[in-house]
Amino acid sequence: MFLLILLAALAILALVTWTGVVLVQRAHPPQGRFVDVAGARLHVLELGPQRGVPIVMLHGASSNLEVMRPLAERLARTHRVILLDRPGHGWSTRESFSDSTPQPQARMIAEALQKLGLGQAIVVAHSWSGALALRIALDHPDRVAGLVMLAPVAYPWPGGVSQYNYAVTAPVIGGLLAHTITLPLGLLLADSGSRSVFAPQAMPNNFVQDSATRLLLRPREFVANAWDLVTLRAAMAEQAPRYGSITAPITIIAGDVDKTVSTHIHSQPLASTAANAKLIVLNGVGHMIQYAAPDLVVSEIEAMAGALTSSSATAAAN
C-alpha cells in the first residue's frame, strides 16, 4: 500500500512539474536567436548599434541572460551588446551535462562569437561567469579586448556548494528529484532565495518575474546548473595558476559584504595576480553588483571601451 501511495505521489508531482514547465516557458519565451556550436545550441540576444567595441555579457549560476538585461539596455544606447544564455541555461541547450566547467563553455561561446562575426569584445561577467570569462581570455585571447568582472568566481574555495546540488547530480535519484519536487518546491522558495543573493541590498520589485528566474526550475536546466556548481571548485584549481598570463585589461568590481562569492578569496587575489588588473571594492555591497551599483559598472565599461578605442586609433595612425 505504501509503495502504491508513493508511486501515485511521484506521478502527481511529475504531472505538476510537466505542467509547470509548459506554463513557465510560455511566460518567458526566447527573446533572441539561436546559434549552433559544437555541443550546444546557444540563445543569443543582440542589442544596440553595430559600431564601436562590442560588449558580451555573461550571467552567473542559477540565472539566464535576463539578469544582465537592465545593464545591457543602458549600454546598448551607444554599443553593440551581445547577451547569451550560458550552455544549458535559459533557452540555451547543451548535449552533455559533463560540459559543466568553464573550459568547454568557453570554447562554445568563442565559437558563437566567431559565428556572429565579432572580433575582440569587452566581456562583462557576473559571479560563476567570472571563471568563464577568465577561461575565454586564457584559451581564446583573440576574442577578448578586456574583462569587466562583477563579484567573480576565480579560485577554489573552502568547502563545497549546497547539498541539494550533489543530490540532483547523483545517478537515478537526481533525475527523479528534478522531475518531481524541484519545480513545485522551487516556486515556493524563488522569492526568498533571490532576496538572499541580493542581501544586504533589497531585491528589486518583480525581479523574479522580470529575470525569468523560474526557468531555472525546469528539470534539464536545474540539473545543468547543479553540475556547473559541483564541478567548478576543481576547475578553478586547474585554471587559476594561469591567470598571470592574461594581458587584457581587467576591471574587477566586488562588494565587501558579499556572502555568495567572497571578495577576499576571489577578487583580491585575482587583482594581485593578473598583469593589468584594477580592483574596486564597494563598502556595504553584496553579490548583485550590477543592481547595487549600475552607474559605476556602466562608467567602468565605458571607460574601458574608450581606452581601447583610443589605443586602436593610435595604433592605426602609427
Position 145 scores a pLDDT of 97
Q: Are strands 40-47 and 81-84 parallel, antiparallel or unpaired?
A: antiparallel
What residues pair up with 254 in beta bridges, in sequence order? Answer: 281
Backbone angles phi, psi at 162, to 5 degrees: -55, 140
- How far apart CA 311 and CA 314 sit, in angstroms, is 5
Asked if 112 and 42 count as a contact pair (C-beta separation under 8 A), the reply is yes
Q: Walk me through the domains of the chain, giving residue ranges and CATH numbers.
A: 2-317 (3.40.50.1820)
Helix (H) or strand (E) holding 81, with range, is: strand 81-84
Backbone angles phi, psi at 158, to 5 degrees: -65, 145
Position 309 scores a pLDDT of 84
Asked if 211 and 63 count as a contact pair (C-beta separation under 8 A), the reply is yes
What residues pair up with 34 in beta bridges, in sequence order? Answer: 43
**3-state SS assignment for residue 106:** helix
Position 281 scores a pLDDT of 98
Query: How many angstroms separate the Cα of 143 from the Cα of each of 80, 106, 123, 182, 233?
Result: 15, 10, 9, 37, 25
Task: Tell me the chain's radius of gyration from C-alpha atoms.
Answer: 20
Asked if 136 and 143 count as a contact pair (C-beta separation under 8 A), the reply is yes
DSSP letter for each residue of 108-130: HHHHHHHHTT--SEEEEEETHHH
Asked if 60 and 126 count as a contact pair (C-beta separation under 8 A), the reply is yes
- Mean pLDDT in order along the chain per 10 residues (318 residues): 79 92 97 98 96 94 98 96 98 96 98 95 98 98 98 96 95 94 92 96 97 97 97 98 97 98 98 96 98 98 92 60
Placement of cell 528539470 in the chain: 219
Within its chain, how far is the Cα of 79 from the centroid? 21
- Between helix 102-115 and helix 128-139 the angle, nearest 10°, is 70
Q: Which three cell numbers stand for residue 242?
A: 594561469
Q: Which three cell numbers stand for residue 192?
A: 526568498
DSSP letter for each residue of 150-212: ES---S--SS---HHHHHHTSTTHHHHHHTTTHHHHHHHHHHHHHHHHHTTSPPPTTHHHHTT
**Short-list 171, 220, 214, CA closest to 193:** 214
